[in-house]
Each structure stands twice: as C-alpha cells, then as structure tokens.
Structure 1
Amino acid sequence: MITRMGLPESARTDAARLYWAGFRRKLAPVVGGGRTVGVLADALVPAQVMGAWDGDRLVGIACLQDGPEPPLRLDRTGFRREFGLLRGAWRRLLSYFVTSRPPGADELLLDVLAVSPDARGLGVGTTLLSAVADEARTRGRHRVKLEVVDTNPRAKALYERFGFRTVDTVRTPYLRRLLGFGAVDTMRYDVR
C-alpha cells in the first residue's frame, strides 16, 4: 500500500464514495437525499486529499487543511443548485455544525479519515495517520488536530492508539436527534 498527496481527477468519485461511507450518519442531514456522491465529488479539493492506494484501487483517504480553505467546499451556490433555495439554505446552515474548526498556525487539520469498508482492520487507517504526521512535518506543523464525534468510538480508539489525546469536548445534546451525535472531541497529536 502506498500513500500520496493529491487526488487524481479520475479518483474523485471513488474518494467521495469513501467519504460518504465513512461519514453518512454525520453528513446525511446536510447532503443526503440528492445525488450525494456527486455533490461530495464536486466539493472535494483534490490537492487537499491524501489517498491510500492498494495498486490502482483507492482504499482510504485523509482530507487535510492547513489554512482557511477546507478540503470540502460546500458553498451556497452548490447547495442552492442541488437542493433549491430554501432547502439549500437550511442545509448550508446545518453544514456549520458538522465542519471542523480551522487549524491553528502550527497545526495541520485532519478533517476526514475514511477507509473502504472491505479494507478496515488491515492497517489502512494507521498508514494514513503516519503519512499525515509526515505531511505535517514536511509543512513545518507541530501538531495534527482532528475532531471525532461521540458516536464513532472505533475511530477514537484508533486515534488514541496512534497517540492522539483529547484536548477539548463540545457537548451538543440538542443536536443529537437532528445530526446523530451529541458531543465532539478535539484531539491533537504532537509531531516529533
């Protein structure tokens, strides 16, 4: 398996499928119900996606952010075009609750880590985390930051095994019925 930064145009749909498979519960209120994979594929910024490849098959992605621009650009125009004026505005508002806070000056944000369901348990997530830490070093960042929801204990356990530690928890129990989660942990990994 190899990892590389930058997503070829031919892999956008595969990356969007991985994204959706990994984040369906969290993103369904925001982008579900339309041509979901197409919306995600259109919104992905290929330069900010690291892929894990098993031969020519994309088995995992890590979406990274080191400045103000997120790796998934869900803009007002796209929401309006996909869902109409009112539903698009409502979904855009909901998107603020599921997007990560931007990284600090010395941080690399791991916005998304998604592994193909048939490749889970094979070390793809750990391989991507190692590659993300290397990318942070290359960019001169001192830590990697990520956010994980309370309904994803498996991902949190992976991050903790790798060396991430929880530095903050935001509880939003009033959003549990709407978005499917009631707390978000911010975790950090110090790059050595």
Structure 2
Amino acid sequence: MTTESVDVLREVPQGAEARVAELYWEAFGGKLGAALGPPEAGRRFVAGHLHRDRAAVAVTGGRVVGVAGYQLAGRGLVGGDAAAVRAQYGRVRGLYRVFLLALLERTPTRGELVMDGIAVDPAERGRGIGGLLLREIDAVAAEQGCRRIRLDVVAENPRARALYERHGFRAVRVRRTPWLRDVLGFGAVTTMHKEVER
C-alpha cells in the first residue's frame, strides 16, 4: 500500500481512459461480462466510450487508483449507444448485448444524480479512496442543484453497501432478480438514496 497523497479530479485525465476501463472492468466485469465480454473487448469498449466529465477520479503518484462514475443530464461515465455496441460486436451478437445492457440501465429522475459505481485499485483499498470519491460526488450533486443521489448495489457486494451506508446512503428498495443470476451474476439489487445537503 502506498503512502502518497491522493488527489481527486473532476474528470478522467487525458490518456487515462484505458486505466479507468481496467479499474471499471475489475470492479464490474462480473456484471458486465455477459454484455460486453470477453474482458479485452469489454475494456476496449469502455475505454472507447467514456464521457470523461462524468467521473470523480482519484490519482496518486500520477496514476489513477479509483473512479466513481455518475449519470447527469442524460450522460453517464460510459456511453456508447446500440449502434456502437453492434459496430464492435456485430449485428446479431450486438443485438443480444444491447438487450442485456438495457437491463442494467438506470435513468435519473429530475433533480437526481445516479451513480454508475465506484472502482478502486485493489492494492489501494483501505486508504479511504472510496470515501474521497463519494464526497466529490456529493459536491458535484450539490453544485448541479440535485436533491438526491441514487445508486444500486448488488446483494453480492456487501463491502460496497457498507461503504455507502457509512457515507449516509440508506436502502429504500430491494428488487429480487433471480432470473439474472445465471446471466449477469446477481440475484438481488438494493436501491439506495442519499439526500443532498445544500
């Protein structure tokens, strides 16, 4: 574990797209694999379709060690429409992948920022990087006039849920999704909210 200081930026640094895709895939590849896998193709898709201004990014020693993506005003951290998916994966295989991605889609309501998840380098965990990223997301939401931050966390990730609870998120709904366990790797999703202080 490094002892260097951590800086938090409001966008993905130019040239760090592949690194962010690597972190994102390490954290969410189990969930995204069916739609965007195999891993090399998935990381390439994520890197090629990043909206760099939809992230809080933790950097230490010039290296990206964490990222928290969010959706706001119709754009999230990872873009790429159905045409982009079909262009990379083919017309027939792409259609199935578009369907799977639609199952994961979460659209913000008015006055809401939706988080796309947090990914922290495994070697850097335990340094409070997740908390730093969440505080930056809080600041973005407040500056954008949002009243609430919303996120979904799968039942198979209790560590992430504990982090969110420590930072003021509360569970508001649990959706059982047993039909998705074999395809996307999770059987329940908890929606969590945090009111934004202004």
Q: For this structure pair, what is the TM-score category when the shorter chain's length is used for normalisation?
A: over 0.9
Bigger mean CA offset, 68-77 vs 159-168: 68-77
Residue aligning to 1:124: 129
Residue aligning to 1:146: 151
Shift of 1:152: 0.8
Q: What do residues 28-50 of structure 1 show as CA deviations (whole Å, max 9, x unaligned)?
A: 00111152211110121111122
Shift of 1:53: 1.0
Unaligned regions of 5+ residues in structure 1, if any? none
Shift of 1:67: 1.9
SS at match of 1:35: helix
Residue aligning to 1:78: 84
Identity rate, percent: 38
Quick one: which of 3, 21, 25 aligns to 1:20? Answer: 25
Q: What do residues 68-104 of structure 1 show as CA deviations (whole Å, max 9, x unaligned)?
A: 22321132222222221111100110001123x2112
- 1:39-188 correspondence runs (5 A): 39-99=45-105, 101-188=106-193
TM-score, normalization by structure 2:
0.92
Contact residue 3 and residue 128 of structure 1 kept, 8 A: yes
Shift of 1:170: 1.6
Residue aligning to 1:38: 44
Distance 1:69 1:125 in 2: 22
Q: What do residues 166-192 of structure 1 show as CA deviations (whole Å, max 9, x unaligned)?
A: 111221111111110011111011122
Contact residue 164 and residue 187 of structure 1 kept, 8 A: yes
SS at match of 1:9: coil
Residue aligning to 2:3: none
Contact residue 26 and residue 98 of structure 1 kept, 8 A: no
When the two chains are superposed, the root-mean-square deviation of aligned CA atoms in Å is: 1.2
Unaligned regions of 5+ residues in structure 2, if any? 1-5
Q: What do residues 89-120 of structure 1 show as CA deviations (whole Å, max 9, x unaligned)?
A: 00110001123x21121211111211111111
Distance 2:104 2:27 in 1: 14
Contact residue 174 and residue 191 of structure 2 kept, 8 A: yes
SS at match of 2:8: strand
The size of the alignment, in residue pairs, is 191
